[in-house]
Structure 1
Amino acid sequence: MAEGRRGLGRGLSALLGEAEEGAEGATATGGVAGEGVREIPIELIYRNLEQPRQYFSEADLAELETSIRDKGVLQPILVRPSRAQPGQFEIVAGERRWRAAQRVGLKTIPALVRELGDNQAFEIAIVENVQRSDLNAMEEARAYMALMGRMGYTQDQAANSVGKSRSHVANTVRLLQLPHPVQEHVLNGRLTAGHARAILASDDQERIAEQVVARGLSVRDTEALVRAKAAGPKKASGPRRAAKDADTAALETDLEDALGMSVDILDRGGAGELKIKYATLEQLDEICRRLTRT
């Protein structure tokens, strides 16, 4: 079972390779039935609504558009004949190329036509996307969950299907535990998968995510921020804490939010001490950097 499922990923590469080899000798046959590589009018092709990739970077599309304008579409997209709309085709793999070709103004696009069932097309679409290094981590997590839900796969079976390790699938699916606003940050590229995994360890995930985005923190800084929050502020004991006025307590909170570190202000009639507790050397470097900034 494992070998058969893992072979699907390699089979997809071979399938697309076959399309590339056959593209040079392909002729324009429009919507004629049958399998093979052909030039198909772009208006006869429509996107797959179950496409795992929902976010298309404008920069990536612009780069691909430039490449297509200069060299044409080098690799055919993969489509299947539409069952609902005869003479039309649904994209199985290659939506980004199709989008960029439209932006260039091409009338046709090379496509490899294959007769595929719904589940087979669904699985191939996911395999093709997750094997690309630039797939958004949240889209990848949702793709694994959809694959397991629709096909009834375990994490092991899903991993074999896409040619990834089980631990990779498990760790990626964990990102779905993040609150929706944090997932949106990942989906839209404001947070990376590394940021998201670090934030998972926090019990105040939305607040941490907002601080990371607002301050442009690195993954390493995010991990340090989460550790500092988990350690909690080491402030005065109960009676001493209660003696602080509301303004001082509010200022401590503001400084902690800004620094991501524990802050203690001891005010004695306008004079006193400001204590900042750091949990890592990186946080100490950040304090020094801020204090010496000119």
Structure 2
Amino acid sequence: MARRNLFQPPPPPSSADEVAAGELKPRFPNTGAMSGVKSTLKDLSSNAVREIPADLIEEDGPRDRLAFPDSDVASLAASIKEHGQQVPIMVRPLADKPGRYKIVYGRRRLRALQSIGLAARALVRTLSDEEAILAQGQENSHRLDPSFIEKALFAAQLSDNGYDQPVILDALAIDKPMLSRMTKVARTIPETVIHMIGSAHGVGRRRWEHLADKIKDSNADLVQIASDLGLDKIPTSDDRFARIVDAISRSDKAASPTKSSPHMIVSDDGKTFAEVKDSPRALTVKMSKVDTPEFTQWMLDNAEVELKGLYEAWKSDQKFG
């Protein structure tokens, strides 16, 4: 079955042929005052754009955009004031609040209309939560595409709000591997920091994933680092992203101990038979197959037994102080 196109008007009432065939029986005659009532009801269920006071429209629900800059809202408000609202928003009635509506898409336009006190030109649709999310995603596919991080946050919000995976995939027009990548980034990077950075349209998936990986491997307080950078003074979100990455790298470098030189182990007869290297993540023992090939092979054959013996000796030392 084809998916319902949420941007098309509902199908018109059954034709006269269907009525004549007995498939649909008219309840009222098409004459006089009743005809006018029927026309009005038909208009309400059609694709007609209605004017709704902006203060009757609520904005809560999953968002597919980060915060709008005040300058963008002011610029759009000035344009609407001069030329009118050219593109309608979409809303759906709130069943538990008669006379009030919930935004489906067009939040920036609604914010601009609210700022200048004008009613909103809106398409009114009775949609389920899933249909509303799909409409939101479809509308964005026809307009400025959200950045990767905006989509990632949107996907995480939908998941947190209990939407099924197929709905999220359809709303964002992505596949399961991409959803997994988006969710990983949105769950790893603190949302506070993402909002400090902004939409970053010039930063793609790979760079966001790289930042998420750096955060997972770091003990640094990313929120504190971002707060100390004065990001609000950096004009573009792409530059704010770059500043965050640079700060994390410098923090990790400063926190890492100076790399120690390998410790060479020399036998009584003067042969260097092993190299021990200490790092923040591992203690590595490297043995030369060139200088002491027989001993290296013996160690390979007996490593499990010898290492277990050393481990038990260490436990004994711990037990008796």
Query: Could you say which TM-score interval applies, normalised by the shorter chain?
Result: 0.5 to 0.7
Cα root mean square deviation, aligned: 4.1
Question: How many Å apart are 1:226 and its aligned residue?
Answer: 5.8
Alignment of 1:46-195 (within 5 A): 46-52=57-63, 53=65, 55-106=67-118, 108-128=119-139, 133=144, 135=146, 138-148=149-159, 150-153=162-165, 158-178=168-188, 180=190, 183-189=191-197, 192=200
SS in 2 for 1:86: coil
Give the structure with the higher percent helix: 1
CA 1:152/1:191 → structure 2, altered by over 3 Å: closer, same or farther? Answer: closer
C-alpha contact 2:169 2:176 (8 A) present in aligned 1: yes
1:204 counterpart = 2:210: no
- Give the partner amino acid of 1:101: L
SS in 1 for 2:197: coil
SS in 2 for 1:99: helix
Question: How many Å apart are 1:184 and its aligned residue?
Answer: 0.8
Measure, in 2, the Cα distance between the counterparts of 1:51 and 1:220.
27
SS in 2 for 1:151: coil
- Give the partner amino acid of 1:93: Y
CA 1:72/1:147 → structure 2, altered by over 3 Å: closer, same or farther? Answer: same
5+ long unaligned stretches in structure 2: 10-39, 263-321
C-alpha contact 1:81 1:87 (8 A) present in aligned 2: yes
The structure showing larger relative contact order (alpha-carbon pairs under 8 Å, at least 6 residues apart) is 1
Scaled by the length of structure 1, the TM-score of the pair is 0.56
Measure, in 1, the Cα distance between the counterparts of 2:97 and 2:113.
22
Question: How many Å apart are 1:54 and its aligned residue?
Answer: 6.0
Count residues with an aligned counterpart.
213
Question: How many Å apart are 1:223 and its aligned residue?
Answer: 5.5
CA 1:116/1:221 → structure 2, altered by over 3 Å: closer, same or farther? Answer: closer
SS in 2 for 1:49: coil
- Give the partner amino acid of 2:192: E
C-alpha contact 1:139 1:187 (8 A) present in aligned 2: no
Question: How many Å apart are 1:117 and its aligned residue?
Answer: 2.1
Scaled by the length of structure 2, the TM-score of the pair is 0.52
C-alpha contact 1:141 1:173 (8 A) present in aligned 2: yes
Question: How many Å apart are 1:235 and its aligned residue?
Answer: 4.3
Measure, in 1, the Cα distance between the counterparts of 2:117 and 2:164.
41
Task: Indicate the residue corresponding to 1:274 in structure 2.
Answer: none
Deviations 1:228-253 (A, max 9, x none): 74794544569xxxxxxxxxxxxxxx
Alignment of 1:242-281 (within 5 A): none
CA 1:39/1:218 → structure 2, altered by over 3 Å: closer, same or farther? Answer: closer
SS in 1 for 2:210: helix
Question: How many Å apart are 1:198 and its aligned residue?
Answer: 3.0
C-alpha contact 1:44 1:87 (8 A) present in aligned 2: no
- Give the partner amino acid of 1:123: L
Identity %: 23
